[in-house]
Amino acid sequence: MMNTRFILKIGIIGSLILLFLIPQAIMADLVEERESWRQKAYESIEASWPGMQVLAGPILTIPYQVTGTIRETVTDKDGKEREIQRQETMQRVVRLVPTRLDIQGDLQSTLRYRGIFQVPVYTISLKISGDFDLQVLRERVAGWKEGSLHLEVPYLSVAVRDQRGIASPPGLRWKGSEIPFKPGSNLPGSSAGMHVRLPDLEMSDPGSLAFEFTLELRGMRSMGFSMLADTSSVRLSSNWPHPSFTGEMLPESRDVSDAGFTALWKASAFSYNVRDAIEKCEENECGGVLERSVGFELIQPVDIYQQSERSVKYGFLFIALTFVVLILFELLKKLQIHPVQYTLVGFALLMFYLLLISLSEHILFMPAYAIAALACTGLLTVYFGAILRSRRLGLLLGGGLALLYLVLYVILKAEDYALLMGSLLLFSALAALILTSRNLDWYALMSSAPPAPESEKPHEPSPHSEPSEPPIDDLSDRHDF
């Protein structure tokens, strides 16, 4: 006959496993909360330091006026239609990108702190050079007569995402002279940056005009470059050893080491679709020039909250496996383990994640993981030995738990193969349970109850003890006269 009491106990333990999903969800919420606090620290630092930067340009803007004859039909007071001619002056603009753009940069990064959180910030020294081809301007105005065309004062614009990052106003080398930049990009839809007014251009100017300037730019966490040129290249070096390359194109070449990284990007007007961005800019919407870029992020070597979030997802597996093993020991060793003891084991397993999250905010993730795993494994090893009444079994279960933590750490580090390794872990755990219990007679095991505690066993008299006195009720039936 099935042991009803033991079946009820299995139901209680199964309910406990499901109830432990609640504190596991609380741990996951704690990770999200701490991550939000880190984001607030980023925003706090960004309030007093330039934020994530994007550099676009330079863009050469040439305003001009054209005067043309306009014919139109009007109706006089007698109702007759007639054609008239009038002169009208129109204001137009041409925006040119360099035919060649070369950017060289050296980035030096440091860390800024808000409480326990740290954010990488940087100062990058840029040398920007290239040339513009005025033949494009000549082609754009070729349909107008020389007398009806008037070129106005041109200006060169450089747009950035956060103007606070421009440490000092640079000077532009143009036609053999140096002209200082002024604040503001002077581009519609993208005001942050700098611009410089240039000497008047003439149609007789050489076809190619070279430019060069240096710029010291500050920012935090990431940097991007809009490759606005017919042919462009960006060559960077940095002392930050953990870059993540982002944007529309990866570097053509890169070298990452513990001392920092170097990277080279190359692009052309065909690969980057420069003309589309410039046409929108000529329609007085230049904000899009900052949206498309190539660049990098300065990432932390280990995102502790991402790693902690991934580890918490395995909490249910750890609790379920541990409880199943304890149930098997109850059946095989004829032991009794109280549901309260199962509950304490479950909370000890969840305490690992709380220790991991709190420790990793102050020390490196690997030692934090090791300390949390050793603390919980050591505690449960002692407790297993007590509830199983065997130090050897306690060490065996503790060693198995330590092995699970080791496998979990390997899974966390192998991001690209995490799903594969997690699947193999589940399969291995299931295979171990199946193979271990393949010869068990479950009906026989579950029909025999585990032995009762010593306090509940009936007292058996010793064969050498004196006979006990009869009960008082039995003496009441005797009649002495």
Provide mean pLDDT across the span 329-353. Answer: 84
Q: Residue 457 has what pLDDT?
A: 47
Residue 235 has pLDDT above 90, yes or no: yes
251 or 470, which is more confident: 251
Please determine, for residue 327, whether its predicted confidence score (pLDDT) is greater than 70. Answer: yes
When pLDDT is cut at 50, 70 and 90, the band that residue 88 belongs to is low
Q: In the prediction, which pLDDT does 127 show?
A: 92
Distance CA 279, CA 95 (A): 8
Which of 34-38, 126-130, 385-389 has the highest mean predicted lDDT (pLDDT)? 126-130
Encode pLDDT of 251-275 as tens digits. Answer: 888 888 888 899 999 888 777 667 7
Q: What share of the chain has pLDDT > 70, as a percent?
A: 82
Digit-coded pLDDT (tens) for 139-179: 766 655 555 667 778 888 888 888 888 887 788 888 888 88
Tens digit of each residue's pLDDT (9 = 90 or more) over 267-320 = 887 776 677 777 777 777 776 777 778 888 888 776 788 888 888 888 888 888
pLDDT beyond 50 at 43: yes
The better pLDDT of the pair 349, 9 is held by 349
Which of left, alpha, beta for 221 (phi over 0: left; psi -120 to 50: alpha)?
Answer: left
The predicted model scores a pTM of: 0.67
Query: How crowded is the C-beta side of 359, counted as CA atoms within 13 Å?
Result: 17
pLDDT tens digits along 392-447: 888 888 888 898 888 888 888 776 677 787 788 788 878 877 887 777 666 666 66
Q: Has residue 455 got a pLDDT over 80? A: no
Residue 478 confidence class, pLDDT cut points 50, 70, 90:
very low
The reported pLDDT for the residue numbered 10 is: 79
Mean of pLDDT values over 232-253:
87
Q: Tokens standing for 400?
A: 């198995």
Please compute the mean of the pLDDT values over residues 368-388 and round it to a whole number.
90
State residue 249's pLDDT score.
Answer: 83
> In the prediction, which pLDDT does 205 show?
62
Average pLDDT over residues 187-214: 79
pLDDT value for 103: 92
pLDDT in tens, 98-131: 888 999 999 998 888 877 788 888 999 999 999 8
pLDDT score at 476: 41
Residue with the bigger pLDDT between 9 and 255: it is 255
Q: Do residues 156 and 180 make contact, with C-beta atoms less than 8 angstroms apart?
A: no
51 has pLDDT over 70? yes
Model pLDDT, residue 371: 93
Give the pLDDT confidence score for residue 102 in this predicted structure.
Answer: 92
